Structure 1
Amino acid sequence: MAMQKRFRVGHGDVFPKGAFIKGEVEKVIDFDKSTQENRVQAVDLNKAGEGTGLPLWQVIVLDADEEAGKKDTAVTVKIAAKHQPVPPENKTPFPWTMVEFVGLTALPYVEYTGSKDKDGHDRTRIVWSFRAEGMVAPGQSASQSAGSSASKGAA
């Protein structure tokens, strides 16, 4: 069997030391369909028209792994949901909310840095695009997540 482009990964595989949301849950903007006066929210559909068709939301996530590289410390996770996902309650004195992602998938791709090495070759690196079905407080069961993050929130 050939590997699919986007594949399932466990939250602990991607964030073994934990993950924290930095900032708010925001709409993903479809820049191809937007104008300066009218920002259009992106939907979960690929170029072949496959996907849920639900609006896309994004959160900036801080990786708590001290060994994570400088460019890997903060990543974006996108969530397809009818309504804006609501993060779990932050019960710490810190401005970041600890989360666990449910239904996490990863898609690797090559990023060109725009520079060349000493031999004139393009500098590239593998980066990851992450999607999740929802987010919950760490340790919360996956069965509780369906009603708590992807389906409740502001319209």
Structure 2
Amino acid sequence: MAMQKRFPVQHRDVFPQGAFLRGEVEPVLDFQADKRPDGSRPQQRDKETGELLWQVVVLDADDMAGKKDTVVTVKIAAPVQPVPPANKTPFPWTPIEFVRLTALPYVDDNGNRPRLAWSFRADGVAAPGEAGNTGAKAPEAKAA
């Protein structure tokens, strides 16, 4: 069996102590495309599904996370801008859980030494414990 480039991961495996939304859901700009007449950039689309790409910045609550890994950007492929859950905490960051999270490893060679890094993508965001109740697409079963 060959490994896929991007593979499914559980939210709790990537963010064992939780993830907190920092800021807003923003469109991912396509810097490979030509600028529009007004000088703005079009929004990037997912290469597999054609859906628009959005991104969120999250804080990883794991105390064991390295300095470069405490702030993580996760892309979300969706036809419209995802709406995060309401923040019901007294803190400025909203606790969230990702729906159908996937990971893609790559080599980050922007520092003194190359290191293994991860690119994350999800189908959506939900309040912690509610990612299974979002009505998101279930993975397709493979015929035996």
TM-score (norm 2): 0.89
- Which one of the candidate residues 117, 121, 134 is aligned to 1:131? 121
- Return the offset for 1:11: 0.2
Query: Quick check: 1:90–1:96 contact (8 Å CA) kept in 2?
Result: yes
Which residue in 2 is equivalent to 1:32? 32
- Return the offset for 1:113: 2.4
Which residue in 2 is equivalent to 1:4? 4
Which residue in 2 is equivalent to 1:41? 43
Which residue in 2 is equivalent to 1:103? 100
Matched, 1:81 2:112: no
Distance (whole Å) between structure 1 residues aligned to residue 19 and residue 127 of structure 2? 10
Distance (whole Å) between structure 2 residues aligned to residue 18 and residue 39 of structure 1? 33
1:40-66 deviations in Å (ceiling 9; x for gaps): 100000xxxxx1100000000100001
Distance (whole Å) between structure 2 residues aligned to residue 8 and residue 106 of structure 1? 6
TM-score (norm 1): 0.83
Query: Quick check: 1:136–1:145 contact (8 Å CA) kept in 2?
Result: no
Q: Any gaps of 5 or more consecutive residues in structure 1?
A: 46-50, 116-122, 148-155
The residue type paired with residue 24 of structure 1 is: E
Give identity over the alignment, percent: 64
1:58-113 deviations in Å (ceiling 9; x for gaps): 00010000110000000100000010000001001111000011100000000112
- Return the offset for 1:141: 4.7
Q: Any gaps of 5 or more consecutive residues in structure 2?
A: 138-144
Distance (whole Å) between structure 2 residues aligned to residue 4 and residue 108 of structure 1? 11
Query: Quick check: 1:102–1:145 contact (8 Å CA) kept in 2?
Result: no
Q: 1:40 to 1:141 in 2, by over 3 A?
A: closer
Query: Quick check: 2:99–2:131 contact (8 Å CA) kept in 1?
Result: no
The count of residues paired between Structure 1 and Structure 2 equals 135
State the superposition RMSD in angstroms.
1.6
- Return the offset for 1:139: 1.0
